[in-house]
Amino acid sequence: IAHRNDIPSELKKEIKNTLQNKLHRCAGPEDLATSAALLKRITAPNAGYSPDFVKEFREFHRELKEFFNASSLEEQLETMLRESSVHNSHILELVHKFLEAKEKAHTTDELVTSFELLTMLRSQFTEKLKGKTGSRRQKLQMTDIGLEDFSFVLLSQLINLFDALEKEINWLPALRCLELAIENLRLSGFDTKECQAMESELKAWIRGFRPQDREQLIRLKATIDRCRRLAEVYCNRILALFPEKVERLGQSLGVDRHKIKIFCEVDIRSHLVFQVSKLIALLLKGIRRLASLPPWDVIVPGKTSGRLVEAACLDDLPGPFDKAIVVLMEKVEGDEEIPAGIVGLIVAHETPLLSHLAVRARQGEIVFIVCEDADRYSELKNSLGKQIVLDISAEEVNLEFSSSPEQEGITERKRKVLQKQAQVPDLLLCSDRKLLPLDQVRPATGGSKADASRRLEELSQIEGAGFVTSPGVVVPFGVMQESLNKASVLEQEYRILVSRLNELPQSDFFEALRKLQSIIRQLDVPDEIISGVMEKFVRDERLMVRSSANCEDLEGLSGAGLYDSLANVSPPEIAQAVKKVWSSLWTRRAALSRKKLDIPHDRAYMA
């Protein structure tokens, strides 16, 4: 271009010096800005440059944009149409349809059609990317990223249309949009199996959906709550991944403090998952109104009273408390320990009815409610320190503030009763057999949880039982200890850590737990377990590898959520899964629970 004879010599020099030489030495995105400025100048009205030169410079600028991955989505898709020999006819047809639909998308139906075509196109790209390498793969991936970004725009436009209807939600298009949004998250590689499960549920509920049917609304709410948790998982991952690194890198590069501070927020709010959370809020609001659901979700009903306090996390509370308290929290993880003396929980965040925290609250007869109304929750925050009376049933929630004296929390006598109830039963350590058939396990060899599975299997075989159970095998008590015995150096360190554990200050206590888990993960799982599992289950089946400790499912201690169970494990992955379950004997929550109830750590075993 710089050597053409149909342009002035000054322009030749400018192109040579500002573009040609610069691109040759050290190409950078700033060259794109230089090229764009030149293009604007030569295409201005009455510029008078040769049409052939202008055409060639336009082509050069388009290629430069491709080089820097700066082409617009339309340009990327039009390039695909020009390279028709590279792509199959189905993809090219979808590209044509999408570009046409995108151009005229204004109404709800038109925008939904664009969203559907975009999703179909991304699905095709996902398949095609599997067999691509090099520059072609990069081009395809950049186009897919462009489509992902545009899905944010489409969903935002749709939400604005749904929102404009105020109380009358256009249910079928709105639910279809949620299904498409979840599919796009899956196509972006985020939590793919969970996304597939939610897509399946949404498809099922959309068929024959009638918003007048309260039962359908409540069923739909459960799925939408599940979608909301997916959005929260994304947010939590970003906040776990970036802040510290952004802070260090931002300071090193001299980036403005405000930009460093909002980096993660910008990432979250510019991602499709942000629009998903907005659509979910809109749908939940509609469901609560149509189903006449109160802003309260009752997890554990009952009547109690105590002083209202606020906490970011239950683990932050000093407990046990001599006076009864009711705790107000923005959100919970779901597997926390409830300190003694807490008689009520009020949470501003949706909590599953069968979360471990909910199960513990139910076992301890601790009143537990969720407040989904931000204004009502703010009113409660203004009353911290006051004595509150909770009178909660499945049908009605009554909260009153009282001037009565504070009630007693947990007494020493009650604490001793709890400790007595949590006595750990005797067990048998199996060293000769590493894997037991389910029908041969008993509480003494595999724990109460494994024994419950055996009893369920027996019941299912009674004529007319009406249900079946999953096949299973049990790694009994004692197998972990035998693996430990074979690693003498590790065993010695293990025994020392366990014997000193309760004497350690809190920071050293948690570090010791980390070391104990690390030791267990270094053990060898016996070959008999691996081969036995491979014989019992087909290679492509998926297993739930469940903990069954001797310190859970007892009369005075359910131990719900103290130990880990792993889902979706393939048989060849069984060794790693077994070690992870064994190591959960030393999770923070499990060790603290034993310490609180005076259960000796050396009496805790895992099957």
Active site residues: 356
Q: Which amino acid is at 307?
A: R
Angle at 243 between CA 239 and CA 248, to 5 degrees: 165
Q: For residues 151 and 181, is the Cβ–Cβ distance under 8 A?
A: yes
Distance CA 351, CA 297 (A): 9
Name the 3-class secondary structure at 323: strand
Distance CA 61, CA 116 (A): 32
Distance CA 410, CA 425 (A): 25
Q: What end-to-end distance do the CA atoms of the chain give, in Å? A: 75
Distance CA 24, CA 31 (A): 11
Other beta carbons within 10 Å of 428 = 12
**Composition of the chain by helix, strand, coil, percent to 5:** 60, 10, 30
Q: Which amino acid is at 35?
A: S
SS (H, E, C) 328-378: EECCCCCCCCCCCCEEEEEECCCCCCCCHHHHHHHHCCCEEEEECCHHHHH
Other beta carbons within 10 Å of 118 = 22
Instruction: Return all residues near 494 (Cβ < 8 A) that are at least 6 apart.
Output: 484, 516, 519
Cis peptide bond N-terminal to 243, omega within 30: no
**Site of tokens 């469901």:** 287
Sign of CA dihedral 376, 377, 379, 385: positive
User: b/e for 324-355, b at 16 or more Cβ within 10 A?
Assistant: bbbbbbeebebbbbbbbbbbbbbbbebbeeeb
**Site of tokens 């006595």:** 423
Sign of CA dihedral 36, 41, 43, 44: positive
